Amino acid sequence: MTEKIEGGCLCGQVRYQANCIKPLFKVNCHCRDCQRLSGSPYVALVGVKETSFTVTGDVNCFEHQGGSGGAMKSYCCSKCNSRIYGTPEIAKGMVLIIAMSLDNPQSYSADADMFVKQAVSWDIMNNEIPKFDGSMFKRGG
């Protein structure tokens, strides 16, 4: 059975869908770049295969250095500037959906925390899920 993951931006101009058996992972990223981009202690991410992901509406892309040190492309709505998803150089073929852009963000439950060494001291993490000091991904895919 295929799960349909759907969401979009604040103004509704951008919509996305991913059809997959299940997400590749759900992770909270505590890297300093995600903190700055989101204005919060971490970003909740849903990983899906790029081949399962479709987007409609106009998006702007900006490239920056990700927490891994590799390039990260972030995609935002061209109208309301909501950050919706990204594609990391370190994990080619993967899309990282911003969980709070999901139509049903209540469906999100993290599998792990990554870049925990960069977490702010007042960030309270779930002790029952695995922790990674850096990225969960190995360079090159």
Which segments in the chain show pLDDT lower than 50? Answer: 139-141
Q: Are 84 and 16 in contact (CB under 8 A)?
A: yes
Q: What is the pLDDT, as a whole number, of residue 108?
A: 94
Q: Which helix (H) or strand (E) holds 113?
A: strand 112-114
pLDDT of residue 140: 41
Q: Given this model, what pLDDT does residue 64 score?
A: 83
Give pLDDT, residue 136.
76
Reduce the secondary structure of 95-112 to three states and give it as a string. EEEEHHHECCHHHCCCCE
Q: What is the CA radius of gyration of the chain?
A: 14
**In which order are the strands placed within the sheet that holds 15-20?**
3-8, 15-20, 53-56
Q: Output the pLDDT for position 138.
A: 56
Please provide the DSSP assignment of 28-77 as one string.
Answer: EE--HHHHHHHTSS-EEEEEEEGGGEEEES-EEEEEEE-TTSSEEEEEEE
Span between the terminal Cα atoms of the chain, in Å? 26
